[in-house]
Amino acid sequence: MLSRVKSHGLSGIGGFGVQVETDIANGLPAFEIVGLPDAAVRESRERVRAAIKNAGYIFPAARITVNLAPADMRKEGAVYDLPVALSILGASGQLGVDPKLDFVAFGELGLDGSVRAIAGVLPMVIDAFSGGETVFAVPEGNAGEAACVEGVSVLPVDSLAGICAHIRGERRIVPRPTEPWQGGETRYATDFCEIKGQQGAKRAAEIAVAGGHNILLIGTPGAGKTMLARAIPSILPRLTYEEALEITKIHSITGATKGTGMIRERPFRAPHHGASSAALVGGGTRAMPGEISLAHYGVLFLDELPEFRHNVLEALRQPLEDGFITVSRAAASATYPAEFVLVAAMNPCPCGNYGSRIHECRCTRTQIERYRGRISGPLLDRIDIQIEMPEVGFAELSEKSGGEASAAIRERVEKARAIQRRRFSNDGILLNAQMNTKLIKQYCSPDKDAEKLLRRAYAELKLSARAYQRILKVARTIADVEGEEQISLSHYAEAIQYRSLDRSGKDA
């Protein structure tokens, strides 16, 4: 007898439909799984065998062949345990005559017949739903995640016996209600009003967030670089449903959303400077997403930037430019989105005291140049805003009144982004940082006075063409933050001031 159960596979952030076909024939008892399974799928034979017996059913003493179609797509993980078990029970007639297996099933089986949560449920549900599937039998631990997709019917399965009873009509599994999207208000650990002084750096952070620009904070130890970086998520615009769905899809692949629903906060990722290239960009045998993809629509914070390995920093160049990363390995290749605000921090020199009004710098000119040289020119070109953070004096630290709150700054950010959405409504982008050469020419054309200033800056700072274009983009954002249609000379001047390393590097 032949039985078929629908399931789904995962390839990067997308998926593909899988048909689990089981044939039971006479002959010596055997159990084979074909269709390009990996080691985890092949090992499922013993899990499925024990789960069927412990669920109160009979494992057929016959020749069992399970095919995972299409046979040319690699099948990975314990996703197929549940559909394989159901297919075997259906083929052996233990689910009744002509059982209704009109749902998509996936889940890992325990030896006792329990169904355990798996990674990657949300992207698989979204992909299958776009292909016309509406009913999904998922592990109970993944039900909240799957129920984030509007229009689907989610059957939370806690055991193999439970789903079998549902199929046989003995006990109905009540579908999990779809969870309506509620953005809500998020509480952040650090608010901008808690940051003493540093008005220039806070202004730069606001502009960076408003236009989607990358920012580098340079300052002596204790100047507040890390505190400012951790406060930046509090001024990012509120998540939309589409953004939250895409963030959750990426995190679901890593298994971070097991037992939870949709992610409702913008991610803040802060990998240690000892992180490898694979940890940052993604990798492994399954081409899993790395930190830059997990920071999608949020903030990637790289503290002690020069301490990161050279190959790790250079791997950032392509995603910073393109907004996505392709992870290629021998067994798999996947493309993940990577649109984030890069916030980096560094000391001005190895000892950290170069330019300090309090402590004396012990570094030689050669040491300072070597330290800063760890960050390549092409990478620096891709960091739109470079701002120096001076030491905070006692008078500023002892101020009783707080500064401007994050909520007020976020309102200005959202207004500036609304201006950009209207401007680029027919251009296929959302933010000033995403403008190409054609759009820069269209929306950032300087007048004669501004052109004279830019020509002088280009020559004196020895800017590259890319750095020059970044200045134009930042100037456009400054004008948007101030609600002005035209970019004035002061906007260009401020944008030039945000090339701190270009300026200070000339006399370091």
Which range is least confidently modeled, 23-37, 432-446, 492-506?
A: 492-506
| Helix runs in 150-297, H state only | 160-167, 199-211, 225-231, 241-253, 277-281, 291-294
Instruction: Please tell me which residue, 251 or 402, carries the higher pLDDT value.
Output: 251
The domain locations on the chain are 2-167, 192-504
Q: What amino acid occupies position 163?
A: I
The residue whose two tokens read 């997403």 is: 289
Calculate ∠ Cα 294-342-493, nearest 5°. 160
Contacts of 405 (CB under 8 A, 6+ apart): 191, 192, 193
- Give, as one character, the DSSP assignment of residue 306: G
Q: Is the peptide bond before 446 cis (omega within 30 degrees of 0)?
A: no
The residue whose two tokens read 């084979």 is: 32
Nearest-angstrom CA–CA distance, 70 and 344: 45
Q: Is residue 252 a contact partner of residue 142, using CB atoms and an 8 Å limit?
A: no
| Predicted pLDDT at 180 | 73
* Secondary-structure class of domain 192-504 per CATH: alpha beta
pLDDT tens, 341-395? 999 999 999 999 998 888 899 999 999 999 999 999 889 889 999 999 988 877 7
Nearest partner of 291 among 260, 249, 250, judged by Cα: 250
Distances (CA, A) of 167 to 72, 96, 99, 101, 109: 30, 8, 7, 7, 18
pLDDT of 401 over the 90 cut: no
Contacts of 19 (CB under 8 A, 6+ apart): 4, 5, 6, 7, 68, 69, 70
Over range 293-307, report the average pLDDT: 95
pLDDT of 506 over the 70 cut: no
Nearest-angstrom CA–CA distance, 120 and 123: 6
CATH code, residues 2-167? 3.30.230.10
Strands 108-109, 115-116: pairing kind:
antiparallel
pLDDT > 90 in the chain, percent: 67
Contacts of 327 (CB under 8 A, 6+ apart): 12, 281, 282, 283, 287, 288, 289, 290, 333, 334, 335, 336
Q: What amino acid occupies position 338?
A: A
| Predicted pLDDT at 504 | 55
| Predicted pLDDT at 201 | 93
